[in-house]
Structure 1
Amino acid sequence: MRFFRNKRLFIFLIGFIILVALIGYSLRDRINVTFAEELINDTVGWIQYVIHIPVNFTTEVITNVQDFRNTYEENQVLKEQLSQYKGLVYDVQEVEKENEELRAALDLLESDSIRSSEAIQAIVMSRSPERWLEQVTINKGEKHGVHANMLVMTAEGMIGKVQTANDFTSTVKLLTGFDQFNRVSAMVSRDEGENVFGMIEGFDPETDSLMFRIIEDSDQEIEEDELVVSSGMGGVFPAGVTIGTVKEIVSDQYGLTQIALVEPAADIYDINHVIVLDRKISEKAETSGKEAADDAEAEGEAE
């Protein structure tokens, strides 16, 4: 038994010496490698290459998916911010536009042509789609002093008249819906020469122009860009309210009457703030002034 144990110890020592020798041999600096080392190195290299390709591909796919998700989320955030920015720009433009309209209306109310006591400011509440070019609804009615046939205008000029007045709202018939039964006494206003009188009594949708029918003969010809205003001769509307400018002179279908195509001064398609003029107030003031003058004259004659 002792012999066998010594034999095993001897074999173990011999094997350990050989292993150390091989390790020392493999670790030394040399150009050529053994066949076994070459086989092991090539095998390990190919195994690493085979494993690296799918691992690298999977890693790139996961990275690309994550980058795509991050890009999508950033794109959604940028779209939302851009939408908010566009909304703010639109709101600012609307506020600026409304501010300009209110300033123009205020300047008009403070002018000598219109006294604030004769004007009722209102806002357009709605516009009937089926009658887009004919009527709108405003937020003032009889409780605010609005009555039928009152003139309605913006800071740019006349847009129509009150067709019906309720307690708190009113329907405004636009100039584009006027006809031979709904007319406006108007005139071509001139600083020099005679004014030319006529009636606004229709709308030409092909040219987007009001039709001003001339009702009296005049030696002076009407020219383009001449100003057309209300004449006040109908006894309903006050005089001197701007309606538009002459674009072209044509004849009626019979060739007997001249018709001036007038471009409206106010934008009929975009109406927000309007002014309703009450002529009755100015008429009362004129009547009171006339009565006072008559009384003074009577007193002077009595003396």
Structure 2
Amino acid sequence: MPSFFRRKILILVLVAFIIFVTLIGFSIRERENISAPERFILDTTGVLQSIIHTPVEWVDNSIETFQDVLRVYEQNEVLKERLAEYEGLIVENQELEEEIEELRGTTERAEGLEKYSPVQASVIARSPERWFEQVTINRGSKHGIEKDMAVITKEGLIGKIQSTAAFHSTVKLLSGFDTSNKISSWVVKKNGDNVFGLVEGYDEESGRLLLGGINLDVKLKKGEKVISTGLGGVFPSRLQIGTVDEVKNDEYGLTKTAYIEPAADLYEVNQVIITRRSDQNDKESQEENS
């Protein structure tokens, strides 16, 4: 009996295998019409493939989009860095151009001081306590700088030497002048009748110089230039001081006071010229030779 059942099972397996092979061969051959079970299997497989393909494609597209955004972000950061570097170069270039222009202006101004041996210097510091009154320059007594020498920029007069050390000096700006620091001046008139006055102070509220001692019968116009007379021996003649901005009678009604807009920017000073007299240079050369 056991052998009979084994043979029966083997026969069934063999028959099933033959049927299976026959079905495979029948399925893979080219046909125009397929059976209902095959259509069912085909449709079911297509639906399952669509269901699986859609999220997979969405995830794949999302990953590609994220990668594109990441690449754009990285490129944008690189462009920002290069733009910042470019802007820095522009600012640096502008500063260099301004410095060159200022140096060119001071050189041209120095060439116009025939009776002097101008000494060019750079501002290296401003006193925090007296920011608007004085600056420190990199020239001192070793360069022939002495107290009360006039100091100018390419625009005009800015002050005078207040004190000196061997290699540095302190400049008292016009904004720190008072009645003890007077400058004899001319208000230049078109008809040649220049008006004499004295720069004798600074109005902190308006940021203008005070030109006093002007006769009441004198008429001044806004915009007329004010220059130094050269009297007194401290300031060279014809240095630009500023322009007339406003005229008022003094508190006693005896003279007029003109408010002068400074020619030079007293708050932005970088390159200056010290007006050193030529005869001082000659004397020092003779002393050194002797």
Instruction: Place the TM-score, normalised by the shorter chain, in its bin.
Output: 0.7 to 0.9
Describe the shift of the 1:38–1:284 C-alpha distance in structure 2 as closer, same or farther (beyond 3 A).
same
Q: Partner residue of 2:66? A: 65
Whether 1:200 and 2:228 are equivalent positions in the alignment is: no
Q: CA deviation at 1:138?
A: 0.6
**8 Å CA contact 1:185, 1:230 repeated in 2:** yes
**8 Å CA contact 2:229, 2:237 repeated in 1:** yes
Q: CA deviation at 1:140?
A: 0.5
Describe the shift of the 1:150–1:33 C-alpha distance in structure 2 as closer, same or farther (beyond 3 A).
farther
Q: CA deviation at 1:155?
A: 1.4
SS at match of 1:136: strand
**8 Å CA contact 1:196, 1:218 repeated in 2:** no
Unaligned runs of 5+ in 1: 286-303
Describe the shift of the 1:251–1:117 C-alpha distance in structure 2 as closer, same or farther (beyond 3 A).
closer
Q: Which of 232, 249, 269 is matched with 1:234 structurally? A: 232
| Alpha-carbon distance between aligned partners in 1 of 2:16 and 2:273, rounded to the nearest angstrom | 119
Normalised to the residue count of structure 2, the TM-score between the two structures is 0.82
Unaligned runs of 5+ in 2: 284-290
User: Higher relative contact order by CA 8 Å / sep ≥ 6: 1 or 2?
Assistant: 2
Describe the shift of the 1:162–1:33 C-alpha distance in structure 2 as closer, same or farther (beyond 3 A).
farther
Q: Which of 15, 19, 22 is matched with 1:20 structurally? A: 22
Range with greater deviation from structure 2 (101-110 or 82-91) = 101-110
| Alpha-carbon distance between aligned partners in 1 of 2:98 and 2:20, rounded to the nearest angstrom | 99
Describe the shift of the 1:258–1:65 C-alpha distance in structure 2 as closer, same or farther (beyond 3 A).
same
SS at match of 2:56: helix
Q: How does 1:271-282 map to 2 (within 5 A)?
A: 271-279=269-277, 281=279
Name the aligned partner's letter for residue 265 of structure 1. A
| Identical amino acids, percent of aligned pairs | 42
Q: How does 1:1-303 map to 2 (within 5 A)?
A: 12=14, 16=18, 19-20=21-22, 23-24=25-26, 27-30=29-32, 33-34=35-36, 36-111=37-112, 114-115=113-114, 117-190=116-189, 192-213=191-212, 215-217=213-215, 219-279=217-277, 281=279
Describe the shift of the 1:169–1:23 C-alpha distance in structure 2 as closer, same or farther (beyond 3 A).
same
| Alpha-carbon distance between aligned partners in 2 of 1:264 and 1:21, rounded to the nearest angstrom | 110
**8 Å CA contact 2:134, 2:173 repeated in 1:** yes
SS at match of 2:193: coil
Describe the shift of the 1:11–1:52 C-alpha distance in structure 2 as closer, same or farther (beyond 3 A).
closer
SS at match of 2:215: coil
Name the aligned partner's letter for residue 226 of structure 1. E
Q: Partner residue of 1:293? A: none
Describe the shift of the 1:144–1:23 C-alpha distance in structure 2 as closer, same or farther (beyond 3 A).
same
Name the aligned partner's letter for residue 223 of structure 1. K
SS at match of 2:260: strand
SS at match of 1:118: coil
**8 Å CA contact 1:141, 1:166 repeated in 2:** yes
SS at match of 1:210: strand
| Alpha-carbon distance between aligned partners in 1 of 2:34 and 2:18, rounded to the nearest angstrom | 25
Describe the shift of the 1:256–1:16 C-alpha distance in structure 2 as closer, same or farther (beyond 3 A).
farther
Q: CA deviation at 1:20?
A: 2.8
| Alpha-carbon distance between aligned partners in 1 of 2:29 and 2:252, rounded to the nearest angstrom | 120
Q: CA deviation at 1:119?
A: 0.8
Q: CA deviation at 1:6?
A: 10
**8 Å CA contact 1:238, 1:279 repeated in 2:** no
**8 Å CA contact 2:186, 2:194 repeated in 1:** yes
Alpha-carbon RMSD across the aligned residues, in angstroms, is 3.2
Describe the shift of the 1:90–1:25 C-alpha distance in structure 2 as closer, same or farther (beyond 3 A).
closer
| Alpha-carbon distance between aligned partners in 2 of 1:283 and 1:60, rounded to the nearest angstrom | 84
Range with greater deviation from structure 2 (41-50 or 276-285) = 276-285
Aligned length: 281
| Alpha-carbon distance between aligned partners in 2 of 1:231 and 1:45, rounded to the nearest angstrom | 105
Q: CA deviation at 1:131?
A: 2.7
